[in-house]
A = this chain, B = another copy of it.
Amino acid sequence: MKDIVETLQAGAGKQFINLSAGNPLILPEVEQLWRDCTTELLASSEYGEVVCRYGSSQGYAYLIETIASDFNRRYGLDLNNNNILITPGSQSLYFCAANAFGGLTTNGGIKQIVLPLSPDYTGYGGICLFQDALVAYKPTLDVEEEAHTFKYRPDFSQLSITERTGCIIFSRPSNPTGNILTDNEVGKITALASPYNIPVLIDSAYAPPFPALNYTDMKPVFGDNVIHCMSLSKVGLPGERIGIAIGSSRLIQVLESFQTNLCIHSSRYGQAIAANAISSGALANISEQFIRPFYQKKFTMLEDSLNSAMPKNLPWFLHRGEGAIFAWLWFKDLPITDYQLYQQLKKVGLIVVPGSTFFPGLREEWQHKQQCLRISLTGSNEEIAKGMKLLAAVVQTVYQLSS
């Protein structure tokens, strides 16, 4: 959000507790892994072939083979190289999919890009050259009043998947909410899409086997019309922009052709070091041993801080922390907008992200859209504890003033 960047830049002197970041922290073990892989690449004669030559649009062959064999072993699949595409980050994968499967058709019609559960990743908002093609659906809410927690559910009574649907996209675990759609919910969505051969892109940027930022059990879902989409941005390679698509060769071929026109191929240094880290098993290990526990502890810490700081009598609800690196808070009947709340928090030195930016494609009015905040788990324990106290104080005043 532009205002956050400007606030942080302008307030160089001022100390903010910044819990807005989507930029993961650099964990020392993770950086060391990539340094070691780079040293190995430099020592090898392969370096020139990787960096100094064009490659294939599909991606670096050794990385593709490595992923195929890792996933076949891990999940009992039968993938071959034609089932995998490497993209320059997963954002560009969604861009390709949105415009190859969705958007304007050659005969002037529109194929929708459907987000079955809103809120979802804000970056989906800009992936289609035809903004009108993006359509998101309001969820239902499972609320546990006493526990001050809730969980979003897809509203299957509303979700409409038809021959006018181009593709379906959702993140699992979800940025911003930390929600993990159940196997059953995912199964229902893919079943709705299947009769029309509609690709279902499951954004697994936080899923196992890496970065494994799931705090409840989950299994990746594969299938004939499923494109399992991964990112290496949460395992320490955000700078290198590596996205991975796994799906039927029919769908992968479409995306690959689009990608050739878009950018020829993804950059290869990151692909080469990733291939080594996946092949040795180090990437999955480091995810389970360092990355997941690190953020899971942060979430528990934040939850505890909130529970002790927030008044029991106010209608605040923390989304169940099932995964990802954010906490998502809903303030029912909030007397001001999320953006106004963001501004008030800024005044006391706390920066979080107003929730209304996470409802791309949801055009209908819904007060809930202006009642949420996304809080990053990238802060230190002290920052999180102090931040939640500041938040509690401001929120209390806001509700009191209106009553």
Contact = CB atoms under 8 A, between A and B. Distances in A.
B52 A264 contact: no
Contacts of A264: 89, 91, 123, 241
Contacts of A30: 52
A35 B42 contact: yes
A15 interface: no
B23 A51 contact: no
A239 B55 contact: yes
Contacts of A263: 88-89, 91-92, 95, 241, 263
Contacts of A26: 48-49, 52-53
Contacts of A49: 26
Contacts of A24: 53
A241 B265 contact: yes
Interface in A28-42: 30-31, 34-35, 38-39, 42
A261 B31 contact: no
A262 B35 contact: no
A51 B272 CA distance: 13
A51 B91 contact: no
Contact of A267 (B91, B95, B126, B240): B240
Given A51-B270, A52-B237, A126-B261, 9 more contacts: A23-B54, A26-B49, A26-B53, A39-B42, A50-B239, A54-B233, A55-B239, A99-B129, A103-B129
A-B pairs, 6 with minimum CB distance:
A126-B261, A239-B268, A92-B263, A267-B267, A54-B238, A51-B239
Interface of A: 22-24, 26, 30-31, 34-35, 38-39, 42, 47-55, 88-89, 91-92, 95, 99, 103-104, 123, 126-127, 129, 233, 236-241, 260-270
